[in-house]
Chain A
Amino acid sequence: MTPDIAQIYAQYKGKVMGYISARVNNHADAEDLCADVFEKIMRRLSTFDDTKASVSTWVFTITRNTVIDHFRRGRPGSELDENLVDDSGVDEGLLNSETLTQLANALTKLPEQLRDIIVLRYYDGKPLTEIAEMMNLSYGAVKLRHQNALMLLREQFSD
């Protein structure tokens, strides 16, 4: 069933704008991009397939790709968030609230330092050298803990 554009707009406008604003400093650019996203959604509405993705994942993918295109167009002073690049090979079916809750549960089971490293590295996009400084640890110690954290998480999220 084709979702209703008015309903999508009402439900996702805040999320789309919030995601874009976190990456694009210029408010006018952020508003233009938000409008682009909903224009694309409207144009592609008939191609939406709920057997492949939820509405949320679909809207998110369009939003993320619109932000990536914006940075690739090379706006002066803009820098592409490394977390936005190269997510090829990741199953978009994983992008749902249930998996996020599973990740939260897995993180709470990790020792505190390992959890901190994962959040600072993958949510905040900080390099391990900076994380080492923040945690008052050597780079080598953080690198080792990072590998341990990935190993423990891999056990819960098998590829």
Chain B
Amino acid sequence: MEKKLKSLFDYQKFESNPALQSVIDSVHRRYGARMLTDEELDLVTAAGAPEVGKKLPEADDKLK
């Protein structure tokens, strides 16, 4: 059964049967925020630590 499901879902990636795609999309909507792929996670990691909001040293601080 597992092999059959793997084959059918793999074929779905080629065939895009609308009825099955609708079921898949409904599952993905429920877990959307948690469906990041490895490639997307790599991009997040590559972006590095968020420094945007960090306060830059002011001229007065440097003089102290």
Contact = CB atoms under 8 A, between A and B. Distances in A.
A133 to B, nearest CB: 8
Contact of A15 (B1, B14, B30): B14
Given A19-B13, A19-B14, A115 B27 contact: yes
Contacts of B24: 119, 123
Given A94-B4, A101-B19, A115-B23, A64 B10 contact: yes
A149 to B, nearest CB: 10
Q: Chain A at the B interface: mostly helix, strand, loop or mixed?
A: helix
A100 B39 contact: no
Interface of B: 1-17, 19-20, 22-24, 27-28, 30-31, 34-35, 39
Interface of A: 15-16, 18-19, 22, 25, 56-57, 60, 63-64, 83-84, 86-90, 94-95, 97, 99-101, 103-105, 107-108, 115-116, 118-120, 122-124, 134-135, 150, 153-154, 157, 159
